Amino acid sequence: MNRYKSLQQFLNPHFKEDEYQLAAITGDASFRRYFRVNTGDQSYIVMDSDPDKLDNTPYIELNKVFSQHGFKLPKILQADEKQGFFLLSDLGNTHLADLLGDEDRTLHYKHLIKLSAQWAQIPPAQYMKVFDGEFLQFELSIFRDWLVDNFIGEQLSADEQKMWQQACELLINNALEQPIVTVHRDFHSRNIMRTGQQWAIIDYQDAVQGPVCYDLVSLLRDCYFKLPEQELDYLLHYAYDEFSEQQLLQDTSFTMFKRWFDLTGVQRHLKAAGIFCRLKLRDGKSGYLNNVLPTLTYISNVSKEYPELTALGQWIEQIIIPQTKQRLTKESK
Tell me, what CATH number does 67's domain have? 3.30.200.20
* Number of residues that make up the chain: 333
Cα 173 to Cα 3: distance, rounded to the nearest angstrom: 44
Listed residue (211, 147, 224) closest to 179, CA to CA = 211
Instruction: Tell me the CA distances in angstroms from 229 to 10, 143, 220, 293, 298, one per residue in order.
Output: 49, 26, 10, 18, 12
Cα 8 to Cα 46: distance, rounded to the nearest angstrom: 10
Cα angle value 215/219/220 (rounded, 5°):
115
- Same domain as 260, residue 319: yes
Listed residue (35, 55, 56, 54) closest to 44, CA to CA = 35
Cα 168 to Cα 171: distance, rounded to the nearest angstrom: 5
**pTM score, whole prediction:** 0.94
- Same domain as 124, residue 53: no
Number of structural domains the chain divides into? 2
- Same domain as 222, residue 118: yes
Cα 308 to Cα 262: distance, rounded to the nearest angstrom: 13
Instruction: Tell me the CA distances in angstroms from 60 to 75, 81, 195, 204, 227, one per residue in order.
Output: 10, 9, 21, 10, 34
Residues 89, 74: contact at Cβ < 8 Å?
yes
Q: In tens digits, what is the pLDDT along the chain, a chain of 333 residues?
A: 588 889 988 998 888 777 788 888 876 567 889 999 998 889 999 999 999 999 999 999 999 999 999 999 999 999 999 999 999 999 999 999 999 998 999 999 999 999 999 999 999 999 999 999 999 999 999 999 999 999 999 999 999 999 999 999 999 999 999 999 999 999 999 999 999 899 999 999 999 999 999 999 999 999 999 999 999 999 999 999 999 999 999 999 999 999 999 999 999 999 999 999 999 999 898 999 999 999 999 999 999 999 999 999 999 999 999 999 999 998 887
- Same domain as 79, residue 149: no
Cα 227 to Cα 231: distance, rounded to the nearest angstrom: 7
Other C-beta atoms within 10 Å of 254: how many? 13
User: Which letter does DSSP use for residue 166 in this model?
Assistant: H
Residue 19, domain extent: 3-89
Residue at which a domain ends, from 60, 89, 118: 89
Residue at which a domain ends, from 89, 122, 140: 89
- Same domain as 219, residue 109: yes
- Same domain as 229, residue 203: yes
Residue at which a domain ends, from 29, 63, 89: 89
- Same domain as 31, residue 128: no
